[in-house]
Amino acid sequence: MNTKTIKKCVAILLLAMLSMPAFSQLRFGVRADVGLNNPTFSTEALQVENLTSFSVGPTLELMIPLINFGIETSLLYNNHRMNVSGEDVRNAEITNHYLLLPVNAKKKFGLGILPMQLFLTAGPYVGFLLSGDELSFSVTEPATYQEVDARSFQAGLGFGFGVEVRRVQVGVQYRLQLTDNYAENRPGIGDIIRPANERTSTWNLSATFFF
């Protein structure tokens, strides 16, 4: 699935939110996510480890009470940090700042008389780079540095589940990123910077409070 398809999915879900019936239930809240992964990726030239990520921002939920189905979207500031090491690396700690827009379909399941519900979410997300550190390294002798800037756009798919108790939701999301963090700016660099682009899976723990 390419980035154009992701953008179309986001647009469709946003339009669906605007066309929800008038009796839908609308809630606003604040959401915070923290990454649960701590992987290590390496090549002969670079090693990337201690990847950390957290997000925070406003969220909106629009549900149809009769069927417990709706749409949830958020606008999140995301901080993504990683430690980079190698034979000749200039910036050992890299931090990128993104603005993420996840748009998810959401289904809730009641638990009888218990004051809580289970929920499932699924949908695309897009991210826009606010600012970031370049990846600067050398694999030659004498040192000739290669500088690679972070991509300005990212996209992917998210899947989640969790529990809601009144105004509070706690859940876990699996985020599959479909774009690279760094772009190959000259032939042969792609294999070297591969550790900075490893993204097969990311697990996040989230908490949302609705007003």
Tokens of 78: 């995301």
For residue range 41-92, list pLDDT tens digits in order: 766 667 777 678 899 999 999 998 888 999 999 999 999 888 887 766 766 7
Measured between alpha carbons, how far is 196 from 201 in angstroms, rounded to an integer?
Answer: 14
CATH number, domain with residue 54:
2.40.160.20
Cβ of 85: how many Cβ atoms within 10 Å?
A: 13
pLDDT of residue 15: 61
Question: In which element (H, E) is residue 46 found?
Answer: strand 46-64
Grade residue 184 by pLDDT with cuts at 50, 70 and 90. Answer: confident
Judge contact between 11 and 104, C-beta under 8 A. no
Measured between alpha carbons, how far is 45 from 143 in angstroms, rounded to an integer?
Answer: 13
pTM over 0.85: no
Domain that holds residue 129: 3-210
Residue 197: partners with Cβ closer than 8 Å, 6 or more residues away: 180, 181, 182
**How far is residue 54 from each of residues 33, 35, 97, measured CA to CA in Å?**
5, 6, 10
Domain count, the chain: 1
Measured between alpha carbons, how far is 102 from 158 in angstroms, rounded to an integer?
Answer: 8
Q: What is the largest distance, in Å, between two alpha-carbon atoms of the chain? A: 71
CA dihedral 189, 191, 193, 198 (to 10 degrees): 150
Query: 3-state class of 70 per DSSP?
Result: strand
- For residue 150, the 8-state DSSP code is B
Tokens of 6: 């992701």
Task: Find, among 123, 190, 205, 121, the residue nearest to 151 by Cα.
Answer: 190
Residue with tokens 């879900």: 13
**Over 60: is that where the pLDDT of 182 sits?**
yes
For residue range 90-126, list pLDDT tens digits in order: 667 888 999 999 999 999 998 877 889 999 999 999 9
Kindly report the backbone phi and psi dihedral angles of residue 4, in degrees, each rounded to the nearest multiple of 5, phi listed first.
Answer: -65, -40
**How far is residue 198 from each of residues 58, 105, 176, measured CA to CA in Å?**
28, 27, 11
